[in-house]
Amino acid sequence: MSDSLPLQGRSHQRELPDLALLIHQAVLDPHLDQDQLQQACDAARHFGFAGLCTTLNRLPAARERLGPCGATKLIAVIAFPFGAIPSSLKQAEAEWAAAHGAEELDAVPDFMALTEGKAEVFAEELAALCELGLPVNVILDMNRLSKDSLNLAVDAAIDAGAAGLQTGNGFGAPVVPADVRQLTSLARGRCAIKAAGGLQTLDQALELVEAGASKLGTSRGPELMHSLRHGQK
């Protein structure tokens, strides 16, 4: 049976793609113990989530638990959550992640360069990460960026080779459909859009996907799947 999300109560009806294939399960809480990490990995495999996103210190254990590369991609966060480290350290983190089983990177860019209008510095750092050969998803901070800065960030990230853009780092206000629509409009189909931050319910998931999100970053993937299978919202 397909775990798809029926869109109802509109002038048109359709089914959104399978929920599990949209979810990037976030395992970023520094207080999780080893058993909880293993449970998250097992759930990601069980439900067939598109990805499991975790920190560098948990990456080797997550790789071992998930097993060989399969349907659930192992994603490492780089310079999370604020990106405020030297580019050389950011590059070292990415190289270490690639060497220890990461299949994708969720990287926080150089917001200071962006604030100072140094688009070339912002882009060069991301381009170096992209050259490692793994898909790079750039974590933006839409709640803090001005319209001009966001426009600059989107174009620079895509020009650098980013495979996707993420609405935020999960700190601050929850992601809303307007954020996704804005980012989708700016990206103009050139990369994937990941909605992340405060995603708790199926109704939120529906709204974000309909707004243009192709991936959903959440720590509540299993709960969403259980809600879907039990007809909850």
Tell me the whole-structure pTM to 2 decimals: 0.93
Q: Which helix (H) or strand (E) holds 202?
A: helix 202-211
Neighbours of 42 (CB within 10 A): 13
End-to-end C-alpha distance for the chain, whole angstroms: 19
Q: Could you tell me the pLDDT band of residue 172, with boundaries at 50, 70 and 90? A: confident
Which residue type occupies 184?
T
Q: Could you tell me the pLDDT band of residue 5, with boundaries at 50, 70 and 90? A: low
Which residue type occupies 116?
E
Helix, coil or strand: residue 198 = coil
Q: Could you tell me the pLDDT band of residue 231, with boundaries at 50, 70 and 90? A: confident
User: Do 7 and 14 contact (CB within 8 A), yes or no?
Assistant: yes
| DSSP letter string, 3-26 | --EEE-SSSS-EEEPPGGGGEEEE
Q: What's the whole-number average pLDDT of the chain?
A: 93
Any idea how long the chain is? 233
Beta bridge partners of 51: 24, 73
For residue 4, what pLDDT is reported? 66
Domains in the chain, CATH or no CATH each: 5-229 (3.20.20.70)
Closest-CA residue to 134 (of 78, 205, 204): 78
Helix, coil or strand: residue 123 = helix
171 Cβ partners below 8 Å, 6+ apart? Answer: 81, 197
Please tell me the least confidently modeled range out of 31-35, 67-71, 82-86: 67-71
